[in-house]
Amino acid sequence: MSDCCSQPGLMPVETARERLLEALQPVPGTEDIPLELAAGRVLAEPVIAALDLPPCDNSAMDGYALRLADLESGKPLELIGKSFAGKPFTGMVNPGTCVRIMTGAVVPPGADTVVMQEQVEAREESVRVSGRVKAGEHIRRRGEDIREGEVLLAAGTRITVAHIALLAAAGVGSVTLRRQPVIALFSTGDELRQPGEQLTAGDIYDSNRTALKAALAGLGLEILDLGILPDTRSVIAGALERAALDADAIITSGGVSVGEADYTREVLEDMGEIGFWKVAMKPGKPFAFGRLQGTPFFGLPGNPVSALVTFYQLVLPALSIMQGGSWSAPQTMRARLLQPLNKKPGRTDFQRGFFRNDEQGMLVVEAAGTQGSHILSGLAAANCFIVLDRDSGPVAAGDMVTIEPLRAPL
């Protein structure tokens, strides 16, 4: 990796993201996990169906199982038994006979159609069918959903609740998943205090690390929390050295800018390597990526909105790769801007916005509060980013703009 700190200009955010995705690999190791605990995790190997689903022909309705040919005569059919879910009828449906059947029950041998009970006039020992009946009606066929030997889910799939339902229906009780990365996390700053502590003059609460811990926990990642570090070079060096040994990746907040007390980047340059620094995005220009003894390092800005936006736009895609999954570009839409926005060419701007449909059903968007990189209330009120291209300037009210609806964890 080359040191981009001395290079003129800023790296486009798209390039920075591509560099991250190319540089990272899934962490080694797998583990077997009960199926109900697998949501959000990534499959390490494919899951193969061990049976047909449904496992047998069964009824989609409460009604009567019969032979369609027997209806041509118009004569009543002899009722010879009942078939319930879990308690099938064990005999044969012979010509001129039928079986009372419940939803989910096995269709007995000899029957080729189920007639719903609303079309049947039933007596104690016989039934008469009225209305139009189609061959094979109301029967769920064996294997119409899944066939034995079919790949249910491919390796690399990120498990959703719908996937869990599918696997459970196929009898899968546990799955082999990629090991979750261990993420070392710390903030730097003599002024930082843990939420709940007493502030003194010049202090602020460490919102960055608190929010990042919540985001990482939401991804199911294991967190090595190294706390709040003072602006002391030796302490930061020790924390980075420990993190490189005990974690799969390092995320820091603060200390990567150009202030006199911003030591994190300097220590990383001495002990490891920086792949790039300074990205053409707003907020979030002072973002650093590098390696320390081979361990990936993500240095987030200290301003709270900048930290969360760079985490969302750059670190989340990288973590998806490290988890063994893939990353897909977020959905974007076009909306009409309700008020003018300031913008200078040079950086892609992720302004915090709130979109909705107006009275005519048109998608409209407006800024969510003040857009400063320290203004968390605007981010908290937003449901999208208003994405303004790097080379664009101010945007007028009524113009169409690109919006990116927020996904988890924002």
Q: Which residues of 99-126 are buried (b: 16+ CB within 10 A; e: fewer)?
A: bbbbbbbbbbebbbbbbbeeebeeeeee
Share the mean pLDDT of the chain: 92
With tokens 């879990």, the residue in question is 86
Determine the pLDDT at residue 369: 87
Closest to 66 in 3D by CA, of 123, 124, 126 = 126
Give the pLDDT mean for 346-368: 96
Q: What six digits make up the tokens of 49?
A: 């169906």
Report the C-alpha gap between 39 and 261 in whole angstroms: 42
Residues 6+ apart with CB under 8 A from 405: 330, 331, 333, 355, 383, 384
Half-sphere exposure of 172 (CA within 13 A, CB side): 28
With tokens 């709130």, the residue in question is 354
With tokens 């800024």, the residue in question is 367
* 266 against 227, higher pLDDT: 227
Determine the pLDDT at residue 385: 98
pLDDT tens per residue, range 17-53: 999 999 999 999 999 999 999 999 999 999 999 999 9
Q: What six digits make up the tokens of 398?
A: 């009524």
Residues 6+ apart with CB under 8 A from 289: 16, 19, 20, 23, 274, 275, 276, 277, 296, 297, 298, 299, 314
pLDDT tens per residue, range 246-269: 999 999 988 666 554 467 777 888
Determine the pLDDT at residue 254: 81
pLDDT tens per residue, range 111-140: 999 999 999 998 889 999 999 999 999 999
Extract the runs of DSSP E, i.e. beta strands, from 28-173: 30-34, 47-48, 58-59, 63-66, 77-83, 97-101, 113-116, 120-122, 126-129, 139-140, 151-153
Give the pLDDT mean for 225-248: 93
pLDDT tens per residue, range 152-207: 999 999 999 999 999 999 999 999 999 999 999 999 888 999 999 999 999 999 99
- CA 268 to centroid of chain Cα atoms: 31
Question: What percent of the chain has a predicted confidence (pLDDT) above 90?
Answer: 84
Give the confidence band of 4 by pLDDT, cuts at 50, 70, 90: very low
Which secondary structure element, helix H or strand E, spans residue 187, and what is its range?
strand 182-188
- Judged against a pLDDT cut of 60, whether residue 1 lies above it is answered with no
Q: What six digits make up the tokens of 330?
A: 């977020």
* 266 against 60, higher pLDDT: 60
Determine the pLDDT at residue 5: 38
Determine the pLDDT at residue 258: 53
Determine the pLDDT at residue 257: 60
With tokens 């208003």, the residue in question is 386
Closest to 298 in 3D by CA, of 23, 87, 15, 74 = 23
**Contact predicate 302/254, CB 8 Å:** yes
- Judged against a pLDDT cut of 50, whether residue 283 lies above it is answered with yes
